[in-house]
Each structure stands twice: as structure tokens, then as C-alpha cells.
Amino acid sequence: MSIASGLAAIAALRRFAIFSAMRSTNRQPPSVDRIVSCLKRFGADSLERKGGVGGIDIEDDARALVNDLERYPHAFVLACIADRQTKADIAWRLPHAIREAAGDFEFDTLLGLEKERWTSVLASSGHRLATQMEQLLPAALRHICDRYGGDASRIWANGSSGAAVARRFLAFDGVGPKIANMAVNILIRDFGIRLTRPMPDIAVDTHVLRVFERLGLLGKLEHSQLRSTKDKQALRLQLRARELSPEWPGELDWPAWMVGKTWCHAGRAPECRECCMGSVCPRDGVSPTL
């Protein structure tokens, strides 16, 4: 063996030792219950805060608008509908941009907003689906008008179950299960809206899926048809969350999403030493060289 090869072997062993130490501070791998408990504890801070939508970085005026469920509940609904295939900050900043263009955010003002204004706002928003949003957001306002008399807060009226509110969100054009469950989980978690059982499911998201797989909570699928695999894994994630947190599957939503967004990266090395799950994470599927 050459000196270079020997040094390379030593370096590889060192990497493996570091990786093994990072996998767990104990010889026994952490139990699923312990991993889930740790994930829920991380999310508990958000449950206690109830100060509005978490995990977004937008201006104070924009944040105040989407958090004002009492005067402008339709701002929250529009932001949820826009929160797809774009950065969350862009979606949740959008109602404020609409208010700037319209002059105010009263429901009747928005209902009568000209098509040209919608086009102008969305074209400059940076949203990847700006053209679709030109149709979906005005359509959402019309649905709120026709179904809820212009008061979007009736979507989550007192006495509603989490499942019923998710079903009501699904009635909006362009809203699928991910956005519907996300919206209801935010209402419960960040606003303290009290809903009854059955509670909403987890919102299937690329960050959430990656974190579940790396935490060892959900095994990967290996199929030849990528689309089939993606759809199946999304359903398996939803069902797995129901197993792990049957009283409220969506409780695992925000903490898993935040871990994925903040530390458990996909396109670059995960920041395992800084991650709140570092003490229990088995790092399934993560290369020891990362």
C-alpha cells in the first residue's frame, strides 16, 4: 500500500468514526417513540406562541396582514392558496402587495379589483405560478363571497372539526390535500384555533418527507417508475404520521418542515451538529462524508 493510499484509508476511518459517533451518543439506536417525542417537543414552542404564522421571513406590515384573522381572514386564505411551487415568503407577502395595489384590503374592494391590477401585482411578485394565481385568487374571493357571505373566518367556525375545515379548503380551486392540511395545521398551531376531532393530516412536503426518511420514521421506496414511487411515498408519509401521532397527525408537520428547511438540507451537506434532532437522528440515507 502506498503512503497516499494509507493516508486515504486513515482519513476514511476517521470519517467513519465521526459519523458513527454522530449517529447516537448511546450504543442502542433511539426508539421511534423517542424520536417522535423529540420532534414534538421542538414543535411545542410554536404551539405555545400562538403569535401568527411561523417559519416565514417577511416585512412587518405583510406579516401583520396575514396574521389579522379578525379583520382580514381572507388574507390568510389567499396566502395559503398562493403557497405552492414557490418560496413561502413570496406567497405570504402576496396579500400585502395586493393591498398596496388596491389601496386597502377590504373584501368588497378586492372582489371588484380589475383584472389588470391582479396581472400587474402577480407579474412582479416573483411567484412561479403568477399566471395561474391571476385566476385562482379572484376565484377564491368569489367562493368566499358565495359560500361564506364574504367572511372567510366562517371556514373555521366554532365547533368545526379539523377534517371539516380541511374539506372546506379543498373546495377552493387550486387547493389540494397538502395546502388544505397545511392551512388547518397553521390555524391550530400558530393561531390557537380550537377544532375538534378528527384532526388534520400532515401536509406532504419535500422537506417533511426527507426528514421522516432520515429520522428512520419512513423507509424509502425503490421502484422503476419515479412518478409511482413519489405518489406512493406521499401517501405512506400521511399514513405513517397517523400511526405516530393518531390524535393529531399534523402535529408533526411544522417541526419536520422546519428541521428540513433549516438544517436537514437536500442539495448540500446537512447541518447535523446544529440540528435540534441531532441527539436522536440515525441519519438514514445520509453519506458519512457529508
1 lies in a domain?
no
Distance separating alpha carbons of residues 120 and 123, to the nearest angstrom: 5
Distance separating alpha carbons of residues 224 and 234, to the nearest angstrom: 17
Based on the domain organization, do 128 and 85 belong to the same domain?
yes
164 lies in a domain?
no
186 lies in a domain?
no
3-state secondary structure of 282: coil
Q: Is the peptide bond before 200 cis (omega within 30 degrees of 0)?
A: no
**For the chain, what is the domain count?**
2
Distance separating alpha carbons of residues 107 and 241, to the nearest angstrom: 37
3-state secondary structure of 196: strand
Based on the domain organization, do 202 and 258 belong to the same domain?
yes
Residues of the chain with pLDDT under 70: 1-27, 46-50, 223-227, 285, 287-290
Beta pairing partners, 196? 161
pTM for the complete prediction?
A: 0.83
Spatial contact of 81 and 88, defined as CB atoms under 8 Å apart: no
44 lies in a domain?
yes
285 lies in a domain?
yes
114 lies in a domain?
yes
Greatest Cα pair distance in the chain: 80
Q: In the Cβ-directed half-sphere of 55, how many Cα atoms lie within 13 Å?
A: 23
Query: Residue 79 sits in which domain range?
Result: 60-156
Rounded to an integer, what is the distance from CA 104 to the centroid of its chain? 29
Q: Domain of 36: which CATH number?
A: 1.10.1670.10
Based on the domain organization, do 214 and 251 belong to the same domain?
yes
Based on the domain organization, do 32 and 93 belong to the same domain?
no
254 lies in a domain?
yes
Question: Of 136, 156, 176, which residue sits at a domain end?
Answer: 156
How high is the pLDDT of residue 49? 58
Which grid cell is 43? 414543535
Based on the domain organization, do 43 and 113 belong to the same domain?
no
